Amino acid sequence: MKGRQIALDHLKGTQAAALLVDGRLQDLFIDTDQPRPGTIYRSIANRPMKGQGGMFVTTPDGPAFLRQIKGLSPGQPILVQVTGYAEPGKALPVTARILFKSRYAIVTPEAPGLNISRSIRDDEQRDALLAIAHQEMGGSAMGLILRSACAAAEVSEIEEDIRAMHDLAQAVLADAVGDEPETLTEGDGPHALAWRDWSDPADVSTQAGCFEHLNVLDQLENLTSSHVPLGSASMFIEPTRALVAVDVNTGGDTSPAAGLKANLAAARDLPRQLRLRGLGGQITLDLAPMVKKDRKTFESTLRGALKSDTVDTALAGWTPLGHFELQRKRDRIPLKDLLK
C-alpha cells in the first residue's frame, strides 16, 4: 500500500495509533497505565537531594524528580509536567518548564514571545501567521510557537487551536497555588498524539481491526525479535539493564565494502528501530569492520537519519575500542513490556 496511513485502533483493550509509510511501520503510540507525558500536576516540594542537582516532589501519582530547583523551598507548591515514563523503581521525570502543546500551537507560559516554526520559510506566510498570533494572544504575557503544521492549515483552525491552548494555560496557572498535590490536566493519549504530531497528509483508518488489515500486528511481532534484516546484512538490538547493545554484521557479503554498506544500512534504519521498540538511554553500536576514513560517512548518514526522528538523541562519538555511542531520551516504555 503506497502513501501515508494512520491507523487508530486498540491493542488488548488499550488505545494505540500507528503511522505507516508505503505499508512500513514508522511510528507507534500505545497507551499505558503510567501517567502520560504532558500531564501537569500541582506538586509539593520535598527536601533537595544533595549531590543530585534536584529534589523529589509529591504528586497524586507518587514521587517525581525535578531538576533546576533554584529558589524552591520544601513545602512549596510548584507546577510540574511529566516529561517521560518512570523506569522501574525510579521516580517520575518532570520539569517545571510547562508547555501546552497542540497540533498547530504551543503556548509557553515561562517564555514570552511569538515565534513561527523555522520550517515555514515563505515570508508572506510567516507574516500572516504572525498577525494571527498577535491577534489571538491579545497582549498575553505568555509565549506562543506556531508549529510547521500551520503551513497547510486553515486560518480558522489555527485560531481555534491557539485559543484552546491559551485558555487551558490560563486555567491551569490559576490552580497553581494549593496545599495538596493535584492533577490539573492529563497528557494526550495515542489517538490525540497521532492527530497532534503526525500532521502530514495521510489516509486515516479508525475501524476496529485496522491494525490487522494494515499488517501492523505482524510488524509488531517482528519488533519483538532482536534480529533486524538489512538486505544481505543484519543487526541485533538487545537491551540490557545498563545500555542498549547494537551488533551489526555483514552476513554473506565478503566484498571489500561490505562493512561500510552494512553500517550505513544500520544507520539509516536505527532511529526507526529504536523509536518503535521504545528504547532509550545509552546506545552502544558494535559496527561491522570498516576503515577509519569511512567513519565520517557513517556519522553523516546517522546524523541525517536522526534529523527526522522525534526523540532527542545525542551522538557521543567513538570509544577507544571502536564502538560508537549515542545518548537517547527515555520518553517511551519498551515495546516488549507493552506487548506482554
Kindly list the domain boundaries of the chain, sorted by start residue.
Answer: 40-95, 100-188, 224-338
Over the stretch 257-268, which tens digit does the pLDDT of each residue have?
999 999 999 999
Question: How far apart are the C-alpha atoms of 136 and 162, rounded to whole Å?
Answer: 7
Q: Which CATH architecture has domain 224-338?
A: 3-Layer(aba) Sandwich (3.40)
What is the predicted pLDDT for the residue at 71?
A: 76
Question: What are the pLDDT digits (tens) for 208-227?
Answer: 999 999 999 999 999 999 99
What's this model's pTM, rounded to 2 decimal places?
A: 0.91
H or E element: which one contains 159?
Answer: helix 155-174
Residues of the chain under the 50 pLDDT cut: none
pLDDT at 51: 67
The answer to whether 40-95 and 224-338 have equal CATH topology is: no
Superfamily of domain 40-95: Nucleic acid-binding proteins (2.40.50.140)
Q: In degrees rounded to 5, what are phi and psi of residue 305?
A: -65, -30
Question: CA-based angle 159:164:165, to the nearest 5?
Answer: 100
pLDDT of residue 88: 82
Helix (H, G, I), strand (E, B) or coil at 236: strand
Number of other CB atoms surrounding residue 182 within 10 Å: 15
Task: Look up cell 507507534; give the residue.
Answer: 28
- As a CATH number, domain 100-188 is 3.30.230
Q: What is the pLDDT of residue 69?
A: 73
